[in-house]
Amino acid sequence: MKAKKLWCAERVQRLMMSMFLVLILALLSKGYSVAGLALLAFMAIMLFIYFIFDFCPSTVLLNKIFGSCFCECKEDKENENQL
C-alpha cells in the first residue's frame, strides 16, 4: 500500500533523477558536451543496471534515510481482513 508521505525514498530518488537531467541539459546548453554526455551515459548505465538486477544503490541508501513510500500499515491489514 502506498503511504501518504511527501518525503519518501522513491519520490526523493525521482526528484534527484530530474535534477540530474536538468544539470545535464544545463551542461549541454553551455557547450560542455563531453561532460554532459558522460553524465547522461552514467545515468543510462545505472538505469539499465536497475532494470536488469532490480537494484539501485541510491534507492537502498534513501530507504535507510527516509523510509519507503510503500508500507505494511496496520490499518490496511485490518481493512483487508474485514473484506
pLDDT tens for each residue of 19-62: 999 999 999 999 999 999 999 999 999 999 999 998 888 888 99
Which residues make beta-bridge pairs with 70? 2
Is the pLDDT assigned to residue 71 strictly greater than 90?
no
pLDDT in tens, 1-20: 565 678 888 899 999 999 99
> How far is residue 42's CA from residue 31's CA, in Å, rounded to a whole number?
19
Distances in Å between the Cα of 26 and the Cα atoms of 16, 19, 31, 36, 64 are 15, 10, 9, 8, 31
> How far is residue 32's CA from residue 38's CA, in Å, rounded to a whole number?
10
pLDDT on residue 17: 94
Amino acid identity, position 72: E
Structure pTM?
0.73
pLDDT on residue 39: 96
Q: Locate 22 and state its grid cell.
A: 536538468
Q: Which residue has the higher pLDDT, 14 or 71?
A: 14
Distances in Å between the Cα of 10 and the Cα atoms of 22, 33, 35, 52 are 19, 29, 27, 18
